[in-house]
């Protein structure tokens, strides 16, 4: 058994992911395999160190006390607390990713947390809030193979004081057809195990680029806010949108905008003010990549 | 070994000496006990937030943001409730957390609350319920048994929630069920309730009755899920009343008047033992009149000193589970006679076994 597997299945593996330390515990082989593939570039820490503060203690275990041989359901726990119902154990690798997101989106109020992908190029971040099915993750997965830095696939974390994006470069989640599209375009991309038939269909995560992980403490200002929309047959086009509209749309995609009160409005105002705001429709990844590489950020 | 959260709150452990891994445990215990927001203020008052390591501080600040938001939301709900009270023509008496907050008591600082608890005279219950419904609050339970059980045996009607805003209200006519062995005369409590500052139609129990209610809730009613949080409430309530002339003597007199001297004795005993709450020794002595016999007291110490610790694995010993179960059974035993209790518990365990109910 490898060291990672041993720690995961005993007292917990501690990973530094973005600015958070997770202690992860599980009996599931599928999660051990998934973490061994997707998280190799992340620093692991020694749990017994006196000088370590762990942000989130998480576990995912069979619901039944008799263990995985009887129970077909896997339960995510945050330091013993159960935030959502158990799910079929075949989805364990996806559940751990969703659970890790939940920790940040529910516990952190010092930052504005937006449900959005975010990538960076030449020092400026592009935030892409979008509902599921808009092709946000597929676009992200492609762009980070084309020289963009991955800051986050699901959660855009913005420092309330500086209005800068705090990186959280987790594996990018792909669904259904997107899995094959990315596999075909970029054969060198590393894929984790597939969770089949989840509520979102087949889900598979890809390993974040090594450079994005190495730069996971490097924060940056926002240069653009783009709402992507995949639509079959359309030609790729950026449509400028009003700042008021953009602010309202980002707010409605945020987890803690209303909890933050006026601080939430102030930081979002700062972000939108300094960013170019667009709607973006596309059907071909090649066109999308071309348009993104022609973006001139940081002019506002 | 003492739980680190308790040691910090009672002053045995200096915050300045904590290592990062001790902070780690402190934050976990406080989060599980719903005391993170309180810890923020405790550290602001007793130490210095600027000296807290950055990785730790964000959890204290996040809790502070959360509790501040809850307070703002509460003020908004109370505005709506006062409108209802105005229509009714009599005041609604706020209980527990929301009362502490609106009264501006230190017990409310950083406190997290879920429901708003109200009390009215029993004769006004159905009138209140109707008026609430006209203003958008509807019953949360459509289960026939629940409705019947609450209305027939409980000191409150089934919870109501607002159809748009989602706020949940528990409307009471007493502080413990009328079936309980020590149920007080609710009119005595209502008689000493008084309007809250800045409001014409929102009231609170008298400061003494607030303490007695809090003590009864914790040590009689047996809602022990957040035992330590409630004990911290009691500590703050007792401390903010210390300035009152002969406060403790009056507290004991009032407790006897309501027949609730036993829970008040426990409240004084365990706030003093666990949180080192300052209580004059004469009062601790006088409260002994509410004391159970020696053997029972030993047993209660054994149970409460475990159950009042943070509900976190790091604070459990081999007896904690047993202690929680025992006090849960005790609370039901005190709540109602066996002829009611047994069918009720059987129904509950059946529902739990069949997976239709989780708690």
Question: Residue A67: is its pLDDT beyond 60?
Answer: no
Confidence of residue B359 (pLDDT cuts 50, 70, 90): very low
Q: Quote the DSSP letter at residue A81.
A: B
CA distance A75 to A96: 10
Using pLDDT thresholds of 50, 70 and 90, give the confidence band for residue B52. Answer: very high
Contact: A51, B69; criterion CB under 8 Å:
no
pLDDT, tens digit, for every residue of B211-235? 999 999 999 876 687 899 999 999 9
pLDDT at B39: 98
The reported pLDDT for the residue numbered B281 is 81
Alpha-carbon distance B113 to A49, whole Å? 35
Question: Is a pLDDT exceeding 70 seen at residue A70?
Answer: no
Contact B21, A51 (CB under 8 A): yes
Domain boundaries, chain A: 3-107, 111-170+208-293
Predicted confidence band of residue B355 (pLDDT cuts 50, 70, 90): low
Q: Tokens at residue A132, please?
A: 């599921």
Cβ atoms of residues A211 and A147 within 8 Å: no
Q: Is the model's pLDDT at B208 over the cut of 80?
A: yes
Instruction: Give yes or no for residue A74 having a pLDDT over 60.
Output: yes
CA distances from B62 to A259, B32, B67, B75, B232 (A): 10, 15, 9, 20, 20
Taking 50 as the threshold, does the pLDDT of residue A37 lie above it?
yes
d(C-alpha B144, C-alpha B158), whole Å? 11
Report which DSSP code applies to A294.
T
Residue B330 has a pLDDT of 86
**Mean pLDDT of the region A22-31:** 94
Task: Find chain B residues with C-beta within 8 A of A259's C-beta.
Answer: 65-66, 69
Q: Please write the tens of the pLDDT for every residue from B121-176.
A: 999 999 999 999 999 999 988 788 888 878 877 888 899 999 999 999 999 999 98
Per the CB < 8 A criterion, the answer to whether A194 and A204 are in contact is yes
pLDDT > 90: what percent of chain A? 81
Number of neighbours of residue B345 by Cβ within 10 angstroms: 13
Determine the average pLDDT of the residues in A252-257. Answer: 96
- In the structure encoding, which two tokens stand for residue A156, read together? 């855009």
Q: Please give the share of chain A, as a percent, with pLDDT higher than 70.
A: 96
Looking at residue A195, its pLDDT comes to 84
> Coil, helix or strand for A24?
strand
| Residues of chain B that touch chain A, judged by Cβ-Cβ distance less than 8 Å | 19-21, 23-24, 27-28, 31-32, 53, 55-56, 58-59, 61-63, 65-66, 68-69, 72, 312-313
Radius of gyration of chain B (CA): 21
| Min distance A175 CA to chain B CA atoms (Å) | 32
Contact B85, B203 (CB under 8 A): no
- The mean-pLDDT minimum among A229-238, B63-72, B320-329 falls in B320-329
Query: A92 is written with which tokens?
Result: 């364990």
Provide, as residue numbers in chain B, all residues whose Cβ is less than 8 Å from the Cβ of A110: 58, 61-62, 65
Asked if residues A220 and A125 have their Cβ atoms less than 8 Å apart, the reply is: yes
Q: Angle at CA B242, nearest 5°, toward B239 and B246? A: 150
Q: Do B65 and A258 touch (CB under 8 A)?
A: no
Question: Which residue's structure tokens are 């300094």?
Answer: A274
Given pLDDT bands bounded at 50, 70 and 90, which one contains residue B294? Answer: confident
Q: Which CATH number fits domain A111-170+208-293: 3.40.50, 3.30.70, 3.30.420, 2.50.20?
A: 3.40.50
pLDDT bucket at B275, cuts 50 / 70 / 90: very high
Q: Judge contact between B196 and B150, C-beta under 8 A.
A: no
Report d(CA B35, CA B295) in Å as an integer. 33
For residue B311, what is the nearest residue in chain A, using CA coordinates?
A: A80
CA distances from B172 to A292, B98, B122 (A): 61, 14, 8
B30 vs A contacts (CB less than 8 Å): none
């Amino acid at each position: 058994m490898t060291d990672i597997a041993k720690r995961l299945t005993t007292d917990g593996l501690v990973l530094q992911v973005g600015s958070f330390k997770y202690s992860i515990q599980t009996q599931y082989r599928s999660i051990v395999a998934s973490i061994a593939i997707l998280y190799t570039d992340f620093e692991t820490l020694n749990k017994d160190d006196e000088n370590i503060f762990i942000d989130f203690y998480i576990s995912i275990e069979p619901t039944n006390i008799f263990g995985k041989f009887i129970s077909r359901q896997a339960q995510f726990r945050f330091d013993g607390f159960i935030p959502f119902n158990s799910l079929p154990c075949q989805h364990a690798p996806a559940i751990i990713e969703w659970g890790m997101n939940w920790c940040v989106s529910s516990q952190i109020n010092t930052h504005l947390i937006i449900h959005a992908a975010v990538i960076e190029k030449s020092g400026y971040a592009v935030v892409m809030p979008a509902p599921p099915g808009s092709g946000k993750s597929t676009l992200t997965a492609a762009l980070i193979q084309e020289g963009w830095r991955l800051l986050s696939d699901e959660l855009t974390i913005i420092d309330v004081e500086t209005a800068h994006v705090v990186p959280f470069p987790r594996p990018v989640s792909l669904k259904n057809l997107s899995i094959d599209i990315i596999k075909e375009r970029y054969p060198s991309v590393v894929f984790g195990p597939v969770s089949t038939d989840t509520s979102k269909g087949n889900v598979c995560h890809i390993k974040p680029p090594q450079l994005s992980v190495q730069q996971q403490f490097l924060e940056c200002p926002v240069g653009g806010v783009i709402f992507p929309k995949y639509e079959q047959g359309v030609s790729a086009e950026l449509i400028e949108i009003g700042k008021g509209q953009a602010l309202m749309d980002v707010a409605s995609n945020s987890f803690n905008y209303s909890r933050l009160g006026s601080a939430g409005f102030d930081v979002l105002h700062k972000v939108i003010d300094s960013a170019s705001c667009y709607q973006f429709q596309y059907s071909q990844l090649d066109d999308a990549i071309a348009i993104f590489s022609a973006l001139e950020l940081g002019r506002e | 070994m003492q739980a680190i959260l308790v040691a910090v709150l009672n002053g045995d452990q200096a915050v300045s000496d904590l290592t990062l891994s001790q902070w780690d445990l402190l934050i976990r215990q406080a989060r599980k006990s719903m005391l993170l927001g309180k810890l923020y203020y405790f550290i602001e008052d007793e130490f210095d937030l600027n000296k807290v390591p950055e990785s730790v501080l964000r959890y204290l600040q996040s809790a502070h943001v959360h509790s501040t938001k809850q307070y703002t939301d509460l003020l908004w709900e109370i505005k709506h409730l006062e409108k209802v009270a105005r229509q009714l023509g009599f005041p609604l008496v706020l209980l527990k957390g929301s009362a502490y907050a609106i009264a501006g008591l230190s017990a409310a600082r950083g406190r997290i609350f879920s429901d708003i608890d109200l009390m009215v005279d029993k004769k006004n219950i159905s009138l209140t319920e109707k008026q609430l419904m006209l203003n958008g609050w509807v019953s949360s339970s459509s289960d026939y048994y629940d409705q019947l059980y609450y209305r027939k045996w409980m000191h409150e009607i089934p919870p109501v929630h607002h159809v748009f805003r989602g706020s949940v209200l528990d409307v009471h006519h007493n502080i413990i069920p009328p079936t309980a062995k020590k149920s007080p005369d609710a009119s005595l409590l209502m008689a000493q309730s008084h309007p809250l500052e800045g409001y014409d139609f929102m009231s609170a129990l008298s400061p003494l009755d607030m303490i007695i209610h809090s003590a009864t809730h914790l040590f009689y009613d047996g809602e022990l899920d957040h035992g330590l949080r409630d004990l911290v409430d009691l500590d703050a309530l007792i401390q903010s009343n210390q300035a009152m002339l002969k406060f403790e003597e009056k507290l004991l007199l009032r407790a006897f008047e309501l027949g609730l001297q036993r829970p008040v004795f426990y409240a004084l005993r365990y706030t003093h033992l666990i949180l080192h709450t300052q209580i004059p020794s004469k009062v601790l002595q006088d409260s002994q009149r509410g004391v159970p016999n020696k053997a029972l007291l030993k047993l209660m110490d054994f149970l409460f000193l475990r159950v009042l610790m943070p509900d976190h694995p790091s604070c459990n010993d081999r007896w904690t589970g047993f202690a929680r179960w025992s006090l849960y059974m005790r609370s039901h035993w005190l709540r109602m006679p066996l002829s009611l209790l047994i069918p009720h518990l059987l129904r509950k365990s059946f529902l739990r076994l069949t997976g239709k109910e989780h708690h």
